[in-house]
Structure 1
């Protein structure tokens, strides 16, 4: 089994659905929706009948406060707010109004209004006090319809800044951007002016102006202008700098709706006349590249026009379809291409309600209170990341009560460790000045993927194995490319599986081997006459563990002894055993007794018959005893018989008296002396190694071994004794150097080797032999080695050779060494 684990980074991002100031929308002809946890649902209570612009606001609990079409203000009870009529916006203005909370106040809200058609009313603001009228609010008459700039295009946006907001509009005619600062002190009537580089006139003033959620860009689109424009915006100064013109392939002169994706990387546009919603990749390096990245998502199928685009508090982008009783939606507006998930009929409106062109205009940072999370695999620490643009403080509640005090955290991007898998609901409460927004997400801590097929295994033929690696949030790939969570096998195979999971990719493999059923027969019990071995072949051709009673482990066995033999064969199909009895009965041997013999000693001879099992033996005295004793000359026979046959053998035994003779131990005598060797035995004859045939001889003048063969009747014995000659026993006599003058290396054993000998111990020796031309043919420093008549292994030619001899021995008394020269004759 082999396991391999490949960890995967799991990063999941979901849009928060919670309580935001933008939870209630009222627009079009009596249309309204409310964003709930499960998504937007229609609300039939709205009082607006507006052709284009509108705005609404909710409190930090997501409760409706009021809404407006730029002319009238309706409270949460959908009745006209006190002093709520006569504002200077217009329902036919693209963005007739926007509501901006007064910083550091929970009761005051500014309604900024924009007149229709670049009329003289231009842009004004009005203050609403929500502490009045029992919490339903009232327009503050002393701060109503305060003029800012006139005339202006039908465009207005608000961008959150440190300690407040910018309210931005565009002056007509020209390219001047007016940015008004809203702080706790109120509305600064002195605007920050900057130039967009795009000139607006009384003929191209309508269409939306939108900031990115991040507050670093502005985008606008206008009828009569073919391009959509994106400006860089500095929310610390209120200045517009730089612009990117994006060429649209369709609806260019009827541009109306525009919106950024939540991450600010994509720009969406739409015309007022048809459903041609499309987006562009703003991360590309040039305007040309951005324009070329256009992807059309909407469809004109089914009729109906276009209109406004507006992000929702759920992170989706909602599409107004003028004349229709539903909203379309982009489900994943951060995704480039068709993967953004355009859905045509997404939110059905209440009965009788229809869209016009507009959707409510909000401060885009209202949609910034969402968060993502990563590392949701069991054992990981989950990381949470919130979008902190415009957020002063965050409070997190991780939905994990068993973690105790760690279940909450006030960091912007906290981490939390979940000790178990399962569903958890996380709540994020975000504070921005006096606004409070709450977001919820439910997610799952996922189990890790594991797989273990077990160890390699062998089973009996016919066995089926079903491997089940099923687990949540996983897909599978087996070695045969099948993708089920189970695999069935009934044959030899290498099974491998890869489990692809949300957390890990793990692999394992196992080899399945099938055994066949064992069958064998050792044969019948067997008896052999005269056999010496019996070969058994069990002929087992399947895989099995084999064990004979002898300890052998092959399926063959050679038997040489009588006995009962069994073989065990074992595999996963079971144990099979068979036994066979083998008996060897030898045919009685022809030679039962030793050859005829002579006894030259006085001891008796004891004969023993063989001991073959199952054989009966009878001696010549008719006995069947084990031994037969003989102490005189006799002819003895022994018969043997068993069920395999019979035989008889005869032996003649001759008794002769013992020869008694003794020469004594080896000895050394003076080389001038001799001794007598006596081998006498009564009635015997003699043959000495010297050739003598007498019973005694005298030793010669050379050291030698004397051997005598003594024969008496049929008996014979050999005696020997070595006699060495030495002058040690003869004081005053030097030892002699014996040097032959002839060598006959012809292989007859006589004079084949020429060597120098001495009757003394030689302690130092040197010999060189030369031919007649003075060439060295032999050299030695060992007196025991002689010359065999060859030169370098080749027989030397006949003739005279010269030697030079140096030796030193222990006998020389007058000098320490002697040096001799002489000649030898080589004959063959």
Structure 2
């Protein structure tokens, strides 16, 4: 074995039974999440973890904080995050509250015992109870291997386990679990204490049975106080209990149930404060595990020094979240998981910053530690609680003590423990000895190298007594740098621009917003704490050049001091150097003459590559307050340009902003053009200097005219621009306004079809047309209607008229409406002497055949549309008055029959 590894193991063994803190430096939990504790007490996230567990997990490191292994109770991972040899298939369960805890073998740090606790999550999921497996770190190239696996200790066990050092003579360790009185049945009512000695694990436990304990809910944590004299047991629906523990015998006595009065009454995670005065519990409303929403949890504190512990309850936090673990860290803070529900964690841990303080003074912070995107679920790794049995050695200015302190570079800090006669004091910093044999260690002027973890071992004169361990985490923050700084100001006072006295905005000298700055007129003011009360608007008391003092302070309260040199430069504004910038009235319809000025574009054109800012007043120029930029809207006015070089005022320019009127006019929204006629002449309104006509085509505009008049020869979207032209000292400036309008088509109708429904009692005529116009219809050229349908049309020949309402013309067509007379009187009087089908002639239905029959069905005559009709004779003989029948076969294929009367 390499000497380096032997030294590491010796250090590991020494640390475990003396300081016992490096072993807790690395935590792995949840969905690949982890954290590491630094020597200055800070915490950083770890992203290299491989376990994926809903609840149980365990980790262990060596004495100086190097990771050894971690597990979810089933698979064991080494320091390289690989499953160690034979390290799969342990009888833990990721759904068990405390699926595992890791214990070193006394006097042999090469051997680690992994105690696992199983649970049953489904009908066919066996419960293997409490088991342990043995890891030998000397195997597999120093990465370790499991040499014995799943040695059963209890057939059934609740989901909880805890461990504590028995004493410092034989160095054995108690491992305690809550199980059954007999191996098979009954409630959880017996605590089984297994002793781990240098000979191994004693499989015969010390049992402490409580007849009035009836635990049916196996969920929840089991925790020893750091000194091992008290054991707390959280059993979710079955309650929260406290016990006295005899370290010498392993026997529990004095059961004391703590009644939770907070709205969320089901205890899960528990932890003791470092001084062991307070017990913290993470309680929930026990809402269904996979339910989304509806979960609620509380963080409660109990004072164990009061006669009625339940009555001392203080609810420190309550919010919508799932149950979770609590675990004390080596920096003296307690960490809390804050999952959303059983299946969904969060990438944060909550932290109780000052767990030795009562109530809200404990300072709980939610979402305090970001896990770099990895999710914590419900569990955190448990440890041998003796690792956290230490005294507070940091002595605060008010006489109180603590475990962590943050100071500024150059300040003093004191580490102190009780002066015990005959005791030997051994000090270390980050594992290295310090030459100091007293009970007090004082660092008078700390620098950043004094940051770290300070440890004290007090060896008592009685060898049977365990050493007293003290630890303190010191963070020394460096002072912020305070270099000499410079601020130059242009003297633009209206009273006297050459007297070297003007207003300064001292805050312009601030070089970082991460710090707080105060300014002092003199060193005496600095020493007496008399800052300048008006840093914005400070008027220098020494003309042209003056040096003042400043103090810089960071977020930690660390401060430093430096000098600020003020310089005044006289600037005389010359009217001949003034610049002009023109704009057009942006809303010509209102009563205000205001426009937009693109200051960014003005800067690019007139001040390229220069450090400038625009202001509306000389006071703002001087104080560098209320700068303007971008599209600035204003009426005609003057603004100022401050020109700088590395925050030094170089010059001031005046810019005159001139707003000119914009044309205001109206135009028709739509014009109609007869597309079958000549071009449409249009004209823009009078009174303007410039005209531009545009045709809008597929998102672009094409100029089609630049005079007041325009001939339109195509339909579509158009824009008319009318403008004023102004002559300025920098050339011609134009202001345009615009309106958009449509040129819509119209034209004479094209008659596509005329539908005639005739030979009926109600003859109909319906006209179908095409075209772009808006049309109306008539059959007499006088009375027009919007409907193309006409009813009750008399048989005969009619002309239909279709007129464009926009005046583009009238279309006509002649139609035939067929009918027949009901009688005729062939008496030679010239009236109704002939019978003929109405609406046919030699042009319409000319080839139709008309056959006439008497009442006996005999053919009397055949009539052609080309003659005048039947005269009422047969073979030149007059037929008698009677009813006669007819059959018509029209040229268009229609056939119809009817009858009529011949009257004499």
TM range (shorter): 0.3 to 0.5
Q: Which has the higher contact order (CA 8 A, sep 6+)?
A: 1
Q: Which has the larger radius of gyration?
A: 1
